């Protein structure tokens, strides 16, 4: 386990919305989206919430991960999830990565590790995914019954007691993380990583997956400290890392951050995720319209398009990242 010294803690059947449904939404509500953006564009720039100072996070270093799946096993045990179809010690599971297919989180697994090959790196690369615990979660803002909570510790938690099963959060999430538990049709439930908030984070303990990692590929601590550590690793080992921290700005910033030795888009990262919080625009619009439920379909479409719009960027070396340690410190 990699835990930063000095940190004090306080306090499949995933039927994801199908492409056809998403395409239909785009067509049906594209006009409404334009309206949302036009009316809220100016206010979005005034957005000033940068997340909690106490926000914890995890730095995932792809150069250290060996794909042992200990983190998957620990998460499964911690949360009493069903046993996997392929045991955690069976690494043939990575064969499922062929043809670009990657395993996703679903109702029975809050985290998965996928394998990637890169001509730029001698060894196979492994990437763990889970909820990224965004600083300004699209899932939270999209949920009109307030089933989601962003805690000061950084976790984005979910309350099934108030969830109505609309699955807007699943569409809103730019990382396609929330999954729907379909065998509970009368008892709607979204399934996703909760940063081990109830069992660990709120009790001054790091997440189970971090604790289980034998390679210290996962480092837990304050997000601002993790950013400094990430920059230091890049600065001291420029041949080992792409000069970019995935999650520093994606979707307005996430609690889980990644370092990679090869360009992120070649190892399964969506580099088209907007840098602004997805819901910046829509939040302002929500404040202007009291009849939220009446206009919800239009907002729903806007949320989807904002979350998934293609916004190409080039991960150019950022000298500011390397030179301005005080930027986030």
Binding site for ligand SF4 (CB under 6 A): 65-71, 74-75, 78, 110-111, 113, 126, 128, 130-134, 137-139, 156, 173, 175, 177-178, 192-196, 207-209, 212-213, 215, 217-218
Residues 22 and 171 sit within 8 Å (Cβ to Cβ): yes
Q: Which is nearer to ligand SF4, 207 or 261 (CB)?
A: 207
Q: Which is nearer to ligand SF4, 40 or 115 (CB)?
A: 115
Beta carbon of residue 8, minimum distance to ligand SF4 (angstroms, whole number): 18
DSSP for 182-212, written as a single string: TT-TTS--EE---TTTTTTGGGT---HHHHH
Residue 258 tokens read as 């990644």
Q: Which is nearer to ligand SF4, 137 or 221 (CB)?
A: 137
> Residue 252: left if φ>0, alpha if ψ -120 to 50, beta else—which one?
left
Q: Which is nearer to ligand SF4, 32 or 190 (CB)?
A: 190
8-state DSSP, 135: S
Nearest one of 190, 172, 227 to 110, comparing CA atoms: 190
> What does DSSP say about strands 156-158 and 148-150: parallel, antiparallel, or unpaired?
antiparallel
Beta carbon of residue 78, minimum distance to ligand SF4 (angstroms, whole number): 5
Element (H, E) at 300: helix 292-308
Distance CA 184, CA 188 (A): 6
Beta carbon of residue 187, minimum distance to ligand SF4 (angstroms, whole number): 20
Q: Is residue 255 classed as helix, strand or coil in its secondary structure?
A: coil
Beta carbon of residue 291, minimum distance to ligand SF4 (angstroms, whole number): 25
Beta carbon of residue 206, minimum distance to ligand SF4 (angstroms, whole number): 9
Exposed / middle / buried, residue 265 (Cβ in 10 Å: 0-12, 13-18, 19+): middle
Beta carbon of residue 323, minimum distance to ligand SF4 (angstroms, whole number): 29
Q: Which is nearer to ligand SF4, 40 or 111 (CB)?
A: 111
- Beta-carbon contacts of 142 under 8 Å, excluding residues fewer than 6 positions away, are 168, 169, 171, 172, 279, 300, 303
Residues 264 and 315 sit within 8 Å (Cβ to Cβ): yes
Beta carbon of residue 261, minimum distance to ligand SF4 (angstroms, whole number): 14
Q: Which is nearer to ligand SF4, 40 or 255 (CB)?
A: 255
Q: Which is nearer to ligand SF4, 176 or 243 (CB)?
A: 176
């Amino acid at each position: 386990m990699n835990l930063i010294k000095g940190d004090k803690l306080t306090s499949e059947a995933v039927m994801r919305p199908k492409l056809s449904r998403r395409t239909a939404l785009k067509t049906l509500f594209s006009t409404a989206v334009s309206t949302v953006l036009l009316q809220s564009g100016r206010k979005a720039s005034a957005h000033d919430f940068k997340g909690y100072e106490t926000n914890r996070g995890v730095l995932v270093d792809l150069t250290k991960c060996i794909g042992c799946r200990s983190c998957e096993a620990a998460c499964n045990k911690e949360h009493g999830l069903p046993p996997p179809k392929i045991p955690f010690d069976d690494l043939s599971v990575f064969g499922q990565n062929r043809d670009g297919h990657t395993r996703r989180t679903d109702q029975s697994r809050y985290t998965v590790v996928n394998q990637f090959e890169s001509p730029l790196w001698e060894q196979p690369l492994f990437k763990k995914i889970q909820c990224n615990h965004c600083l300004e979660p699209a899932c939270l803002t999209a949920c009109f019954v307030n089933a989601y909570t962003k805690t000061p510790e950084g976790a984005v938690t979910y309350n099934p007691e108030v969830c109505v099963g609309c699955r807007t959060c699943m569409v809103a999430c730019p990382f396609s993380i929330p999954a729907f538990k379909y065998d509970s049709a009368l008892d709607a439930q979204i399934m996703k990583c909760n940063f081990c908030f109830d069992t660990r984070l709120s009790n001054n303990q790091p997440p189970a997956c971090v604790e289980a990692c034998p390679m210290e590929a996962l480092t837990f601590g304050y997000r601002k400290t993790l950013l400094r550590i990430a920059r230091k690793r890049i600065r001291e080992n420029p041949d080992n890392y792409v000069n970019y921290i995935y999650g520093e700005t994606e979707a307005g910033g996430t609690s889980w951050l990644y370092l990679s030795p090869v360009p992120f888009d070649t190892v399964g990262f969506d580099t088209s995720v907007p840098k602004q919080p997805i819901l910046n625009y829509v939040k302002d619009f929500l404040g202007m319209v009291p009849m939220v439920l009446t206009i919800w379909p239009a907002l729903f479409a806007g949320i989807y398009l904002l979350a998934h719009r293609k916004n190409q960027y080039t991960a150019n070396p950022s000298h500011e990242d390397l030179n301005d340690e005080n930027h986030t410190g």
